[in-house]
Amino acid sequence: MSVPCVRVPPEEGETTRAMLADRNLVRDDYDITVADGWLYIPVTDADAIADHEVVSFDAPRRETQTLPEDILGFEPSLERLGRIVILDEDDDERARRVADAVMDSSLPVDTVVNRASEIRGELRVREWDVLAGDGTETVHTEYGTELLLDIAEVYFSPRLATERHRVIEQVTPDEQVFDMFAGVGPFAVPMAARGAAVVACDLNPRAVEYLRENAARNGVEADLTAVEGDVREVAADWDGWADRVVMNLPHTASEFLDTAVALAGDECVLHLYNIQHDSDPFGPGERAIREAAGEAYAIDIETRRVVRSYAPHEENVCLDARLRRR
């Protein structure tokens, strides 16, 4: 039977599936299929998908796969990261029921965890209750890039995959890119794979270890320099060097704009991520960029983008600003 399917290259399959699943758009009664060099993901509502190609495809009906909701009698809210399933359940008994159902289902899963705290501290990590399995390390594949990480030791959000891909696709060979808050490398590693020279910094020593491992895992260790420390203290060696600067630390990135401007070359694109009130989501960030640049640079805001809703009346936003030295 022909059903609407998102069609993507196979290497983009898991990231695209996760993005669609997060929006409850994946059909569970048909199989995801590879045919003629493409991967086809059956979807529930073709009209809700504007950022991918949707085609009609004769997908096979799923007959043998058992999903957690088949066992539970209701559809649980869960997030997949590599072979880890992440829950956000307040009721411990319900969380364990869901975990048992996940492990008994056909999902390719090694571990089920439940969020046990908010993100804490300057390293942005949280505590987890491991409900099934015994490890919190996994390999997450995002648009063909493999990222090894431990969710108990580093910050990572698979929900930002589409936004990361948007920025990464802007990178051209021979660019010089500085990622100020690089984590395990979801921006830095694929940017290096596109031919850029990348310097990637993070305060978390374990994140930097994973960053180096991920550069090697993806064959870009020669093009990526990983630096551990507070970027305000370690970035001076690259003053005036960068063609592009990534600032993905939404709550406090604006506090680092003086360092970002110091890194900028004669022309530089700055990607600033903020959490702002929805009454004025872009104004504070734009004003902060202009204040930091002063008279040294002309500023052109090329993109004002709401990445996602963060909380009631709060938006996670990105400004793409081009700086040109006067």
CB proximity list for 25: less than 8 A, separation 6 or greater? 43, 44, 45, 48, 49
Let me know if domain 68-135 sits in CATH 3.30.300.110.
Answer: yes
- Indicate where the chain has its CATH 3.30.70.2580 domain(s): 2-58
CA–CA separation, 166 and 121 (whole Å): 28
What's the CATH number of domain 2-58, 1.10.3720.10, 3.40.190.10, 3.30.70.2580, 3.40.50.720? 3.30.70.2580
Token reading at 2:
């022909």
- Indicate where the chain has its CATH 3.30.300.110 domain(s): 68-135
- Indicate where the chain has its CATH 3.40.50.150 domain(s): 159-325
CB proximity list for 305: less than 8 A, separation 6 or greater? 163, 317, 318, 319, 320
CA–CA separation, 275 and 186 (whole Å): 20
pLDDT attached to residue 29? 82
pLDDT attached to residue 178? 98
CB proximity list for 6: less than 8 A, separation 6 or greater? 16, 20, 40, 41, 43, 49, 52, 53, 54
pLDDT attached to residue 64? 67
pLDDT attached to residue 222? 97
The one-digit pLDDT tens for each residue of the chain (326 residues) are: 789 999 999 989 888 998 888 777 899 888 899 999 999 999 988 888 988 999 999 999 877 678 899 999 999 999 999 999 999 999 999 999 999 999 999 888 999 999 998 888 888 889 999 999 989 999 999 988 999 999 999 999 888 999 999 999 999 999 999 999 999 999 999 999 999 999 999 999 999 999 999 999 999 999 999 999 999 999 999 999 999 999 999 999 999 999 999 999 999 999 999 999 999 999 999 999 999 999 999 999 999 999 999 999 999 999 999 999 99
Three-state DSSP class for 112? strand
pLDDT attached to residue 24? 79
Strand order in 111-115's β-sheet?
Answer: 78-81, 84-87, 111-115, 128-132
Per DSSP bridges, beta strands 314-325 and 264-277 are antiparallel
For domain 159-325, which architecture applies? 3-Layer(aba) Sandwich (3.40)
289 closest CA partner among 274, 309, 308: 274
